[in-house]
Amino acid sequence: MGKTLHPGPVNKTKRWDPKLWVSPIPFGLTKVKPHHMRDTAKIVWKNRDNLNYAKNIILKGVCDGCALGVSGLQDQTLNGPHMCTTRFNVLRLNTAPPIDPEFLHQDIDELRKYSSRELREKGRIPYPMIRRKGERRFTRISWDEAMDQIAGKMRELDPKQYAFYLTSRGITNESYYVAAKTARYLGTNHIDNASRICHSPSKSALMRSIGVGASTCNYQDWLGTDVLVFWGSVASNASPVSTKYMMEAKKRGTKIIVINPYREPALEDYWIPSVTESALFGTKIADDFYEVNIGGDIALMHGIMKHWFEMEEVQEGSAINHDFIKEHVNNYEELMENVKSQDWDELVESSGISKSDIIELSETLAKAKTGVMVWALGLTMHSHATDNISQVANVALLRGWLGKKHCGLMPLRGHSSVQGSGEMGADPFSLPGGGFDDENVERIEKLWGFDLPNWPGDTVGVTIENAMLDEDNERKLKLYYMSGGNFLETMPDPDFVEQALSNLDIRVHQDIILNTSTLVDAKEAVIVLPAKTRYEQDGGGLSTSTERMVYFSPEIEGNRNRIEEARSEWQIYVDLAKRVKPEDSHLIDFKTGQDIRNEIAKGNPVYDGVQHLTKAGDVYQYGGAWLCEGGVCPTPDGRANLITMEIPKSNQKAGEYKLLMRRGAQFNSMVYGDVDNFNHMNRHDVLINPEDAKRQAIEDGEAIVLYNKNGVFQGHARYADIREGNVGTLFPEGNFLAQIGVYESFVEMPDYDANVKVEKADFFNANKDRQYLEKPVPDLEDNPN
């Protein structure tokens, strides 16, 4: 932990810089770009029935969208208002009226005709409901009836047979903490959260490299660092406010480098709506693009390090920060020996980047005295994701980019407060303040007043698979309690997931809105519970941003569309715990949000201070401005560790393509539009390199099919600047091509990496039954009607 405190927001550069302009034509006319003003007007119209409340959320609340930490219209990076349409799109979740009962209680097959997007637009869940086996409609029930049925089932089951899951949808640290405590109070370690699907490898890699599991630096460190490197991250798409930081960084001399298989338009040119200069003329974001093969990042990083070691043979100190290595880093000789032994041809083939380009990138980084490494799902959703990020750490450590201004390692989170989920203990490997080591278990048991289950919990993917185990298996999952989330649109192999969800005895959906997974059958009952939003949460709530800022978001009054029967999520968990085990309910008897915050400060010592956050704008950063300040790490010996490994072997066969899944016109899995504003990609388009397409005589816009042993994807070819041998679809539409049951090697999160074959649609349809699949694909059959 560091001693230097964050200085607070700084003023942005006032001078305009025409060198950064995309075009002298105002407002990007003639360009493919988002239409922020038009889209904002549409959002205002959509919220017109609750406009004053929407305004108060924007002005007083902490953003429940990306994890940049915007509180009201302000943050801790730059002075001035921050606005983005992503935040505005999420707004309707908080202002919407209840679903019309006539719509809500129609036949289940009629409801199943709607997409999650269409269901979301119908409004919020108004009251507790149940749909029992064989029933065609949801029935309204009381809270007591709902909770008694859930609690009664849990009392019947072995704790290994039920699980909890929390999405990233506006959930606060208080809810994560109480859910984590409730799960262990009820005797189960089966608890997981959406954050781990995205960034659990980041935590595992950083822990073994430097002893911390969070960003070591701040967004302010972007401003004026020599190089800002984005690995597999489209920050401008997932976190649009970040473009304001990028623009300011470039004005202060920062070089922005993007490493991604697809030359993302949102990282090339962007029009920032809250900056007049950029809103008018746009901003060129990236200085250099390196289009790496999907899964080829480790080879690229090893190529960078290999050239550095070659540079060192010519002139010592030309690439490696030897003073930093000597004082603060282990395993240098082992890493050097391993990397130097690797063959350049293999590095080039695996990475997809020429030797000359690798050398160019390595020399750019070698000349940079400071640098910040930023990454996201492009590195984390692989079977070797932890190794991906450990090699990013290697690159930064060799340059000494740790624990000081303008330097650091930053996993860029995609949702507000997901950083807090594991820190509150809401996953199978974590407890508040640490893991399941003997010392931390003893500390938490003393604080909580009960013994923790002493068996390992399963991750979300494994728990879903466990629903398909034999009835007499002790880990056969029979009840799943979900706070939000839609496994049909986030997990690989949605068909299998639907089968597993329907094989549960009871499924509980604690949520704000309906989605397609809510409508799946269960063997005994599906129970739906209406939750309050973070802005309605009794006593307000905390969220932790990417840069470890813990913000207080107050309870905001004045909701004209208030859901009368909705309850704060943490209150529902307390109620559940008391009903399942009433004999010891005093151990989990939180009365107020302040009670929870007081215990959080004890449960996770680095959060000591958050109990004093009480009003809008209050913020506390744990760990200081820089973790590992001065290069001193919270590892047993105080030193960082370089991690040595071999390049992962590609399982790509001749004629196959690596599959990239990206997001467009959406926030995480929540889709808001059919066309991506940045590249006009439709939801069933396939990004393909023109040279790859021409080799198969595929024309731009032509119907094509992607397929593998897992599934089939129909779409249209869209010529794009994507690395040859790689194709791209949108997420979650491409999930049918990912394989269920394949997990990251360290943290057991789903692997979304897939190899696919590409065919012209007419050729595929003519041969599919005998050549490709053992069974017909109904949606590809000719329909004479």
* pLDDT classification of 777: cutoffs 50, 70, 90: very low
Task: Read off the amino acid at residue 209.
Answer: S
Residue 123: count other Cβ atoms within 10 Å of its Cβ. 20
* pLDDT classification of 31: cutoffs 50, 70, 90: confident
Supply 705's token pair.
């099919």
Residue 318: count other Cβ atoms within 10 Å of its Cβ. 14
Residue with tokens 């988002």: 34
- For the cut 80, the answer to whether the pLDDT of residue 784 exceeds it is no
Q: What integer pLDDT is reported at residue 780 of this predicted model?
A: 42
Q: What integer pLDDT is reported at residue 194 of this predicted model?
A: 92
Average pLDDT, the chain: 95
Q: What integer pLDDT is reported at residue 302 of this predicted model?
A: 98
- For the cut 60, the answer to whether the pLDDT of residue 775 exceeds it is no
Rounded Cα–Cα distance for residues 151 and 143 (Å): 12
Q: Is 379 strand, coil or helix?
A: helix
Q: What integer pLDDT is reported at residue 388 of this predicted model?
A: 97
Q: What is the largest CA-CA distance in the chain?
A: 77
Supply 583's token pair.
């004999």
- For the cut 90, the answer to whether the pLDDT of residue 279 exceeds it is yes
Check if the beta carbon of residue 387 is closer than 8 Å to that of residue 513: no
547-572 pLDDT, tens digit per residue, is: 999 999 999 999 999 999 999 999 99
Q: Is 257 left (phi over 0), alpha (psi -120 to 50) or beta?
A: beta
Q: What integer pLDDT is reported at residue 764 of this predicted model?
A: 85
Residue 8: count other Cβ atoms within 10 Å of its Cβ. 10
* pLDDT classification of 771: cutoffs 50, 70, 90: low
Is the pLDDT higher at 247 or at 774?
247
For 554, list phi and psi in degrees, rounded to 5.
-75, 160
CA 583 vs CA 325, 470, 497, 562: distances in Å: 56, 32, 36, 35
Q: What integer pLDDT is reported at residue 134 of this predicted model?
A: 96
Residue with tokens 């899944």: 661
Supply 593's token pair.
């949000």
444-473 pLDDT, tens digit per residue, is: 999 999 999 999 999 999 999 999 999 999
512-548 pLDDT, tens digit per residue, is: 999 999 999 999 999 999 999 999 999 999 999 999 9
Supply 139's token pair.
């029935």
Question: Does residue 732 have a cis peptide bond before it, meaning omega lies within 30 degrees of 0?
Answer: yes
Is the pLDDT higher at 418 or at 122?
122
- For the cut 80, the answer to whether the pLDDT of residue 778 exceeds it is no
Rounded Cα–Cα distance for residues 89 and 46 (Å): 10
Q: Would you give the DSSP letter of residue 407?
A: -
Nearest to 375 by CA among 250, 213, 535, 260: 260
State what percent of residues in the chain have pLDDT above 90: 88
* pLDDT classification of 416: cutoffs 50, 70, 90: confident
201-218 pLDDT, tens digit per residue, is: 999 999 999 999 999 999
pTM (2 decimals)? 0.96
* pLDDT classification of 170: cutoffs 50, 70, 90: confident
Check if the beta carbon of residue 545 is closer than 8 Å to that of residue 34: no
Q: Would you give the DSSP letter of residue 439?
A: H
Lowest-pLDDT choice from 236-245, 330-339, 706-715: 236-245
- For the cut 80, the answer to whether the pLDDT of residue 286 exceeds it is yes
* pLDDT classification of 731: cutoffs 50, 70, 90: very high
Give mean pLDDT, residues 680-706.
97
Give mean pLDDT, residues 96-104.
98
CA 175 remoteness from chain centre? 18
* pLDDT classification of 255: cutoffs 50, 70, 90: very high
Residue with tokens 């997974």: 517
Residue with tokens 């406009």: 51
Q: 183-194: string of b/e by CB count within 10 Å (b at 16+)?
A: bbbbbbbbbbbb
- For the cut 80, the answer to whether the pLDDT of residue 767 exceeds it is no
- For the cut 50, the answer to whether the pLDDT of residue 785 exceeds it is no
- For the cut 70, the answer to whether the pLDDT of residue 108 exceeds it is yes
Give mean pLDDT, residues 383-394.
97
- For the cut 70, the answer to whether the pLDDT of residue 340 exceeds it is yes
Check if the beta carbon of residue 420 is closer than 8 Å to that of residue 600: no
Rounded Cα–Cα distance for residues 236 and 514 (Å): 29
Give mean pLDDT, residues 59-87.
90
For 327, list phi and psi in degrees, rounded to 5.
-85, -30
Rounded Cα–Cα distance for residues 205 and 201 (Å): 6
Give mean pLDDT, residues 409-426.
91
Check if the beta carbon of residue 261 is closer than 8 Å to that of residue 230: no
Report the side by side order of strands in the sheet with 191-193: 139-140, 129-132, 525-530, 506-511, 479-483, 162-166, 191-193
Nearest to 251 by CA among 536, 54, 21: 21
Supply 347's token pair.
């590095």
